[in-house]
C-alpha cells in the first residue's frame, strides 16, 4: 500500500470520527433523544441556578438513616385528649419549625419531612392547615374530601391515636439519591406510611362516621429539591419535575420550549 493510499485512508477515518462526534450518522431515534435531552437541560437551568453551590452533606458519620420518623418541636398546652362524638381533640401539639430545617444536608432533609408529617397530623385533629402551608400548598398534599369537610365545618376526625399518620424512613432515604433524567439535584424520599386504624370523620349534625383514606400509599416516594435556600416538594410526571411551591414562594419561570 502506498503512502498516498495510507494518507487517504487516515483522512477518511478522521472524517468518520468527526461525523460521529457531531451526530452525522445518528438514527432518527437517537437525534430525537438528543434533542429532548438538550431541551430538558435548558429547562433545568433556572432551577439549577437556585440550588446550593455546595455539595449535599449526607452526614455518613451519623450512621444509618432508616427507622421511625420522629418530630420533637411542638408547642404544648396540656395533655392530649382524643376526640369523641361530643368534642374534637383537645390540646393537640402544635408543630413549630425547628432550627436546621433548611440545611442542605441529611439532617435538614429529615427535619423537613418529619415536620411535614407532623403538620399533616395536626390537620387531621384540628382542620387547621396553617402549619402545613409553611412547607407546601395544602391542596397539593391533602385529601380533597377531608379538606372540604373541615372547610365547611361539618365535624372533626375521631381517633384514639395522637399520630394518625405515622411514617418510617426506608434504607435509601436521606442519603444522596439524585434522579438520572435531569441535571437538577432532585432527591427521592422513600417512606413507609401507616395510618391509625380507628380514624373516621364524624359529621356533627347527623352522627355519620365517614372512613378516612390516607392520601399516601403504604410505600411512598416523595421528590424534593433545595431551592432558594429551602426544601421544596416536587411533582414528578414522566421525566418532568414541577416544584410544589408553598404559599409565598415566588414561582420559578422555566423556558417553554417545544419538543
Instruction: State how far the Cα of 113 lies from the Cα of 121, in Å rounded to an integer.
Output: 13
Number of folded domains in the chain? 1
Determine the Cα–Cα distance for residues 178 and 111; give it in Å rounded to an integer.
19
| Domain annotation covers residue 234 | yes
> Which comes out higher in pLDDT, residue 30 or 259?
30
Domain presence at residue 185: yes
In this structure, is residue 45 part of a structural domain? Answer: no
pLDDT of residue 197: 86
Grid coordinates given for 229: 435556600
Per residue, the 3-state secondary structure of 83-123, as one string, reads CCCCCCCECCCEECCCCCCCCCEHHHHHHHHHHHHHHHHHH
pLDDT per residue as tens digits for the range 94-116? 999 999 999 999 899 999 999 99
What pLDDT score was predicted for residue 239? 73
Q: Who's near 86: CB < 8 A, 6+ residues apart?
A: none
Q: Could you tell me the three cell numbers for 122?
A: 395536626
Domain that includes residue 136, residue range? 50-243
- Within 10 Å of residue 154's Cβ, how many Cβ atoms? 17
The reply to whether 253 falls in a domain is: no
Structural domain contains residue 26? no
Cα–Cα distance measured from residue 228 to residue 249, given in angstroms and rounded to the nearest whole number: 9
CB atoms within 10 A of CB 49: 10
Residue 9 has pLDDT above 50, yes or no: no
- Give the list of residues 6+ apart from residue 99 with CB closer than 8 angstroms, or none: none
- Chain mean position to CA 30: 32
Each residue's pLDDT tens digit, 41-76 = 888 999 999 999 999 888 888 877 788 899 999 999
The per-residue pLDDT for range 15-33, each reduced to its tens digit, is: 555 455 555 666 877 776 6
Q: Tell me if 69 is assigned to some domain.
A: yes
Query: 243: helix, coil or strand?
Result: strand
- What confidence tens digit (pLDDT) does each residue in 230-253 have? 999 999 887 789 999 999 999 998
Whether residue 125 lies inside any domain: the answer is yes
Q: What is the largest CA-CA distance in the chain?
A: 102
Per DSSP, 214 falls in state P
Average pLDDT over residues 151-156: 98
pLDDT band at residue 40 using 50, 70 and 90 as cut-offs: confident
Mapped onto helix, strand or coil, the DSSP state of residue 228 is coil
User: How far apart (Å, rounded) are the C-alpha atoms in residues 58 and 175?
Assistant: 5
Which tens digits make up the pLDDT trace of 162-177? 999 999 888 654 444 5
Q: Is residue 152 part of a domain?
A: yes
10 pLDDT exceeds 60?
A: no
Residue 2 reports pLDDT greater than 60: no
Amino acid at each position: 500500500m502506498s503512502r498516498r493510499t495510507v494518507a487517504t485512508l487516515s483522512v477518511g477515518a478522521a472524517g468518520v470520527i468527526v461525523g460521529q462526534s457531531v451526530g452525522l450518522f445518528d438514527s432518527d431515534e437517537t437525534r430525537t433523544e438528543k434533542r429532548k435531552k438538550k431541551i430538558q437541560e435548558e429547562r433545568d437551568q433556572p432551577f439549577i441556578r437556585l440550588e446550593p453551590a455546595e455539595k449535599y452533606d449526607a452526614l455518613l458519620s451519623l450512621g444509618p438513616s432508616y427507622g421511625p420518623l420522629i418530630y420533637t418541636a411542638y408547642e404544648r398546652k396540656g395533655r392530649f385528649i382524643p376526640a369523641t362524638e361530643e368534642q374534637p381533640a383537645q390540646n393537640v401539639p402544635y408543630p413549630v419549625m425547628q432550627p436546621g430545617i433548611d440545611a442542605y444536608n441529611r439532617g435538614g432533609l429529615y427535619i423537613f419531612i418529619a415536620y411535614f408529617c407532623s403538620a399533616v397530623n395536626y390537620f387531621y385533629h384540628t382542620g387547621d392547615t396553617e402549619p402545613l402551608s409553611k412547607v407546601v400548598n395544602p391542596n397539593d398534599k391533602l385529601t380533597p374530601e377531608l379538606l372540604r369537610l373541615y372547610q365547611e365545618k361539618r365535624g372533626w376526625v375521631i381517633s384514639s391515636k395522637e399520630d394518625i399518620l405515622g411514617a418510617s424512613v426506608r434504607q435509601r432515604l436521606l442519603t444522596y439519591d439524585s434522579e438520572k433524567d435531569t441535571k437538577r439535584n432532585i432527591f427521592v424520599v422513600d417512606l413507609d406510611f401507616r395510618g391509625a386504624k380507628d380514624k373516621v370523620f364524624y359529621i356533627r349534625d347527623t352522627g355519620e362516621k365517614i372512613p378516612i383514606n390516607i392520601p399516601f400509599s403504604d410505600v411512598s416516594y416523595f421528590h424534593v429539591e433545595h431551592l432558594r435556600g429551602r426544601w421544596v416538594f416536587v411533582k414528578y410526571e414522566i421525566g418532568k419535575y414541577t416544584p410544589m411551591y408553598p404559599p409565598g414562594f415566588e414561582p420559578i419561570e422555566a423556558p417553554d420550549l417545544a419538543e
